Structure 1
Amino acid sequence: MTNDLDIGPVAFSGEGTERIWGMTAAERARRMLVRDVPAGVAIAPGHRLHINQDYAFDPLLLRLALRRPGVAFHDGEALVIGQLPEDGEPAERIDLRTSPGFYNEKLRKTERPFAIRVSPQTRAQIERASYFGAYKGVTDLLTKYLWPELAFHLTRLAAALRMTPNMVTGIGATLCVLATILFYRGEYWQGMAAGFVFMVLDTVDGKLARCTITSSKWGNVFDHGIDLVHPPFWWAAWGLGLAHVGLALPVATFAALMVAIVAGYVLQRLCEGVFLKYAGMDMHVWRRFDSWFRLITARRNPNMAILFVSLIAGRPDIGLIAVAWWTILSLLVHMGQVAQLVQARKAGRPITSWLEQPR
C-alpha cells in the first residue's frame, strides 16, 4: 500500500494489527511519520520510503532512513525501513542485528536502534525496548540509576489507562506545589515523599510521550517550563521551613544562601545556553568528563539527594548550606567548560561529541 504524505511517497507493507502501548503497529508507524519527521525533510526524488508494519522499530530508524537515501535497514533478511530508489537496488543494506550503532542526538547517546517483529509474545519486549530506548544517555544520577524500572511500570500503567502525557504532567505539577507547601511548613519528610513522586512522574510523562508518539509543543513547554521554574521555590521554601523545626537561619545567612542558589542556578542555565549556541550541541555531551559531571551537577535531583542525606542526619539547615556551596562549585565547573570551548574554537579544534566517536 502506497500513500503520498507531506514528505513524499511512502509504501507500507505487513498487517500491523498487533497492539503495543495501546495502539497498533500500523498506527505507531503513522504517528511517527506525522510527529517525528522534522519540518522541511522530504524523500529524495526518485525514491520511496518503505515501512514494514509487522515491525516495531526505534524512531531513530525513521530519521536515519530519511537522511540516507538508498539505504535499506534490515532485520536479517526482512526489510524494516528504508528510503529506496523506485528503479534499481538499494545502494547499501544495513543489518540491524550486527550494526555497530548510531548516534542519537536527541537522546545524547550512541545506540543500536531496536527493530522487533510484533507478536503477542514480543509485546512486552518491544515496550521495554522502546521505553529504555527513549532514555537519555546523559542525565542525572537519580533519573539514570534509581527509578528507571519504577517509571517503566508507571508508564505502562498510564498507557493502559489511556492517560495523556499532559495528564501525568498535571498530576506531577500538583505534587510539585504540594511539596513546596510542605517544605515551607517544615514537614520535610512529607515534602520529600511528594517531591519524589513528582520527580518520578517527571520521567514518566516524557517517556509516555515518546513511547506512544504523542508529544506536542504545548506538552513540551508545560513539562520543561515546570522543570525550569520550580527548583528555586523549593529551596526557598526549605529555608523558610527551618523556622518550624527550630533551625531557623539568621536572615543575612538565609539571604546569602538564596542569592548563591538562585543566581548560581540561573547562571548555570545561561552557561548551557551559551555553549549550545556556539557549539551547536549540548554542553554535557562534549567530552566524557562533561557527561559524567551531568550526573551530579547542581540541578534539582542531585540537590534533593543532598537534602535527603541532611534529613537523615537531622540537619536540614546544613543541607541547604551544602546545596548553596554545591551550586557555586557546579557553576565554576560550567564556566570553565564555556572557557574551554572558547579556547578550542580559537585554536580551530573541531567541536564534536565524544559519544559520536567510535569506541
Structure 2
Amino acid sequence: MNPSNGQTIMTALGPVRLLGENATRIWGMSNAERCRRMAESSAKNGSALADGHELLFNLAYAFDPMLLRLALEEPGTVFAWGAAPIVGQVPAGSDPLGAAHVVDLSDGRKLYNRQLRKLEQPFVRELTPATRRDIERQSYFGAYKGVTDLLTKYLWPELALWLTRLAASIGMTPNMVTAIGATLCVAATWFFAQGLYWTGMLAGFVFMVLDTVDGKLARCTITSSKWGNVADHGVDLIHPPFWWYFWGVGLSAWGLALSARDFALVMAAVIAGYVLQRVIEGMFIKDFGMDIHVWQRFDSRFRLITARRNPNMVILFVALLAGRPDIGLIALAWWTIISLAVHAVRLVQAYGAKRAGRPVVSWMEAGA
C-alpha cells in the first residue's frame, strides 16, 4: 500500500483519506464506517482540521479513539505502528510518514487519557476476522474509566461486555439502553418505598449494569449524542437521593421505621452530603481543570469506595443480608459524612498546594 494514495471522503470535519480496504466488520459495522463516525463525532464535539490538512485513517487497523483526539489537537501529527501510519492529521495529499510529528506506538509508550481518567498504552491492532473479537474486547475495555467505583471496575465488566455485544448485534442504540435503565431505576425506587428491598435490589442491579452498557455501546459504536449524554448523566445525577429516601420510607413495612427525628437526621446527612460532594467535585474541576479523583493515587483509590451510588448499594446489600435494612441506611449516612470530610480536606489541600506554588496535576499525567 502506498501511504500517499487512498480513497478520500468528505465529512463534517473535512476531507478524510482512507488507506486500503477492509471487509472485516467491528461492532456490527465496517471499519470505514467506524472511521467515518469518528470523524463526524469529532466535528460535533467542536474539533476542526487545520487549513490545507486532511484526516488519515488506515483501514487495516483498529485503534483507540483517543489517538484521533490527540491528532486533531496538533496538526502534522501521525500515530504509526512501525512503518504503518494508523491515524493522523497531515497536509492534504502528503506522505503521512513524512509528517512533522510521527509517533511510533510500537515502542509500548503510555499516554494519559483525560476523558477516561487513566494512563495506559492505547490499543492498535490489525483488524482481521481472527482478531475481531479480541479487538472488540480491547476497544470495550479501552472505553472503561480507569478511576471509578469497585463494582464498575471489578464486577460489571464481563457481564456488561456481553450485553454491549448483544445490543450492538441487534441494532440497539445507547438511548434505547438508557431508556430501559431509567425505567428500572424508577421501578427500583417504587420497590424500595414498599419495603420490597430484594426486588428493588434486582431492578437496581440491572439498571446499574445497563448504566455501564449504554456508555460503552455509545463509545464502541461511535453513536453518542448530546441528548443521550444529557439523559444518561441526568438520571445518574438525580436518582441516588431518591433511592435512599424511599429506602427509609420502606422500613415501616419491616417494622423498622426510624423515628421522625432520626429519619430527618439521616436524610439530612445523606442528601446534603451527596450534594456537597458534587459541589466539591465541581469546584475542583473549575479551579484545577481535572477531576478530584485523579489528583493523587490516594484520590483514585478512594474513588473505589467513596459514598456514591454503587458503594452505597454494597452497604445496603450487606445490611439486607443481615436482615437490618435500617442499620444499612444509618451506615450509609455515616459513610456519606466521612466521604464528604475526605473530599473537603482534599480540596483544601489542593488550594494550599496552589498557593504554595506547587503544581496541582494528575499523578497519571505526571507519569505519562
Pair in the same fold by TM > 0.5: yes
In structure 1, C-alpha distance between the alignment counterparts of 2:45 and 2:27, rounded to whole Å: 26
Match of 2:359 in 1: 350
Query: What does residue 265 of structure 2 align with?
Result: 256
Instruction: Answer yes or no: is the 8 Å Cα contact 1:175–1:197 preserved in 2.
Output: yes
From 232, 246, 251, the equivalent of 1:223 is 232
| Deviations 1:144-194, CA, capped at 9 Å, x for gaps | 011111100010001111111111111111111111111111111111111
Q: Which runs of 4+ in 1 moved over 6 A?
A: none
Offset of residue 68 of structure 1: 3.1
Q: Which residue of 1 aligns with 2:350?
A: 341
> What percent identity do the matched residue pairs reach?
63
Give yes or no for contact 2:147–2:294 (8 Å, CA) kept in 1: yes
> 2:97 aligned with 1:97, yes or no?
no
CA contact (8 A) 1:107 1:135 kept: yes
Equivalent residues in 2 for 1:78-117, closer than 5 Å: 78-86=84-92, 89-117=98-126
How many positions carry a matched residue from both structures?
Answer: 359
Aligned to 1:188: 197
Which of these residues, 323, 337, 340, is aligned with residue 331 of structure 1? 340
Q: What amino acid maps onto 2:303 in structure 1?
A: R
After superposition, give the CA deviation of every residue in 1:245-288 in whole Å (9 maximum; x if it has no partner). Answer: 11111111011100110011001100111111111111111111
Indicate the larger mover: 88-97 or 18-27.
88-97
SS of the residue aligned with 2:215? helix
- Whether the 8 Å contact between 1:17 and 1:26 is mirrored in structure 2 is no
Which blocks of at least 5 consecutive residues in structure 1 are unaligned? Answer: none
CA apart distance, 1:66: 1.5
Counterpart contact for 1:101–1:112, Cα < 8 Å:
yes
Of residues 335-344 and 33-42 in structure 1, the stretch that sits farther from structure 2 once superposed is 33-42
Residue 21 in structure 1 maps to residue 30 in structure 2: no
Q: 2:17 pairs with 11, 21, 37, which one? A: 11
- What is the identity, as a one-letter code, of the residue corresponding to 1:318? I
CA-CA distance at 1:347 after TM superposition: 1.4
Between the aligned partners of 1:23 and 1:187, the Cα distance in structure 2 is: 43
Q: What's the counterpart of residue 73 of structure 1?
A: 79
Matched residue of 2:62: which SS?
Answer: strand
Shift of 1:112: 1.3
Q: CA deviation at 1:134?
A: 0.1
- For the residue of structure 2 that corresponds to 1:84, the secondary structure is strand
1:2 aligns with 2:1: no
Partner residue in 2 for 1:130:
139
* Matching of residues 153-168 of structure 1 within 5 Å: 153-168=162-177
CA contact (8 A) 2:13 2:42 kept: no
Secondary structure at the residue paired with 2:331? helix
Deviations 1:96-148 (A, max 9, x none): 22231111110001121112222211110111011000000000111001111
CA spacing shift, 1:316–1:292, aligned 2, 3 Å: same
Stretches of structure 2 that go unaligned for 5 or more consecutive residues are: 1-6
Letter in 1 for 2:50: A
Give yes or no for contact 1:179–1:191 (8 Å, CA) kept in 2.
Answer: yes
Instruction: Give the SS at the match of 1:97.
Output: helix
How far the C-alpha of 1:18 sits from its partner, in A, is: 1.8
Residue 143 (1) aligns with residue 152 (2): yes
1:170 aligns to what?
179
Letter aligned with residue 203 of structure 1: T
Alpha-carbon separation, structure 2, partners of 1:165 and 1:40: 21
Please say if residues 37 and 63 of structure 1, whose CA atoms lie closer than 8 Å, have aligned partners that are also in contact.
Answer: no
* CA displacement, residues 16-61 of structure 1 (integer Å, 9 cap, x when unaligned): 3321111110000000001134655333345432211222111111
Q: Which whole-Å CA distance do the structure 1 matches of 2:222 and 2:48 have between them?
A: 20
Q: Find the aligned partners of 2:60 and 2:32 in 1 and give their Cα distance.
A: 8
Kindly indicate whether the alpha-carbon contact (under 8 Å) linking 1:140 and 1:295 is maintained by their aligned counterparts in 2.
Answer: yes
Q: Distance in 1 between matches of 2:199 and 2:87?
A: 49
Q: CA deviation at 1:6?
A: 4.2
Over the residues paired in the alignment, what is the CA RMSD in angstroms? 1.6
Q: Structure 2 counterpart of 1:30, which letter?
A: R
Alignment correspondent of 2:57? 51
